[in-house]
Amino acid sequence: MKTGDMDRRQLLSLALAAAALPAAGEAVARKAQRAPMSLRYPLRLSANENPWGPGPQARAAIIAATDDACRYGLSLQAPLAQAIAAKEGVGREQIVIGSGSGELLHMLALGWCSRGEVVCPWPTFNQLMSFAEKLGAGIKKVPLDAAMKHDLPALAAATSPNTSLLYVCNPNNPTGTVIDGPALRAFCSEMAQRTLVVVDEAYLELVDEGMTSGMIDLVREGANVVVLRTFSKLHGLAGLRIGYALARPDVAARLRQHWMTSPSVLGLAAATASLGDTEFLTRTRAALIADRQRVTAACDELGLAYAPPQGNFVFLRPGMPVNDFREKMKAKQIEVGRSFEPLREWCRVSVGTTDETTVFIDALRAIVKG
Ligand SMILES: Cc1ncc(COP(=O)(O)O)c(C=O)c1O
């Protein structure tokens, strides 16, 4: 987590980015206060969103940017890219902003995967692969190992001269597991000499200290690696659709050629403001991790297996067919995630607010004890 240690250059860059946003007056600041959190049913614990968001600074920026919603967001892209570049220590030309990292996954498929083969762990977040398949690429799915982690030797063995892209998801969705940082760095570094390596770090900001590390340093070193990040998770801005890629300048330029649409004014304004909202990000991260631990403690108490979670979700084995579990939760007005092929007995449950987590744990106890 880097939010606590910004240097002066980064702070200056954020200040410049914020100055480019429409001014937030007093009335705006008042409206930006979050109403007291209340439980809204059905509880949505199915889509890995972050219901703590948007943070106060993002809210103020959204309201202040309303007048500019008649404009395209072009002038707001550069300040956001600049702020991200300064925070991550890369050049601005190395940042590609997308309408969610989902758009960037599609852009990667368009740019690299119209032929050849995509290699990926399985199960994982399938957005790039499902689009690549429609474009004509083959997909080589490499099963997770017994600990539900990426099987790095098997992934390496699956690559061939026909591989157009290798996708890695750390932490992995849906399992929430992470790969040891030095092992992943060595793996990506070696694989990048064979093919484009995409490291999807959508949940990285929610990882416990020391469990893994981000791969942006490989981008800084000029490796053939694209790192993807999003404002949909820790920042709580999923509905505003902003994500970004970090890549070598030539890779970023090639990626940019496949832009599908320009990100929204409200999303860009919110993301830029949220980047500097250290207080909100720190507090939210702590709450999500604490509530994630409450869910795993409840699983321990009930004797349910789970994969060690490092995102804002827990992949657990409810001890009954997943469809039955989902129906029982639904009867209590709680939407939980689905199962993922081939792990048919496992269910992904997103971590909500503290009150939502309490409701979920009570429901879990009642259902499992039957
Ligand atoms: C691993 C992973 N990558 C990317 C995304 C896409 O996120 P977004 O398009 O909201 O940035 C998700 C969404 O759940 C995800 O789980």
Distance CA 71, CA 308 (A): 45
Q: What is the reported pTM?
A: 0.92
Query: For residue 243, which atom of ligand 1 is closest to its CA?
Result: 11
Measured in Å, residue 101 CA sits from the centre of ligand 1 at 6
Mutate to test the pocket of ligand 1, among 49, 122, 125, 199 (most ligand atoms within 8 A of CB): 125
Which residue ranges form the domains of the chain, and what is each CATH number?
67-275 (3.40.640.10)
pLDDT in tens, 82-113: 999 999 999 999 999 999 999 999 999 999 99
Distance CA 174, CA 126 (A): 10
Provide the pLDDT for residue 339: 87
pLDDT in tens, 195-251: 999 999 999 999 999 999 999 999 999 999 999 999 999 999 999 999 999 999 999
Q: What percent of the chain has pLDDT over 90?
A: 87
Measured in Å, residue 25 CA sits from the centre of ligand 1 at 33
Among the ranges given (14-23, 36-45, 180-189), the one the predictor scored with the smallest mean pLDDT: 14-23
Provide the pLDDT for residue 38: 74
- From the CB of 169, is ligand 1 less than 6 Å away? yes
Closest alpha carbon to 142 in 177, 170, 166 = 166
- From the CB of 226, is ligand 1 less than 6 Å away? no
Q: Is the model's pLDDT at 33 over the cut of 70?
A: no
- Token pair of 139, please? 């997909």
Q: Is the model's pLDDT at 115 over the cut of 50?
A: yes
Atom 14 of ligand 1 has which residue's CA nearest to it?
48
Q: Is the model's pLDDT at 291 over the cut of 60?
A: yes
Q: Who wins on pLDDT, 24 or 227? A: 227
**Reported confidence tier of residue 46, pLDDT bands at 50, 70, 90:** very high
Provide the pLDDT for residue 2: 39
Provide the pLDDT for residue 5: 42
- From the CB of 48, is ligand 1 less than 6 Å away? yes
Q: Is the model's pLDDT at 287 over the cut of 60?
A: yes
Q: What percent of the chain has pLDDT over 70?
A: 90
What mean pLDDT value characterizes the chain? 92
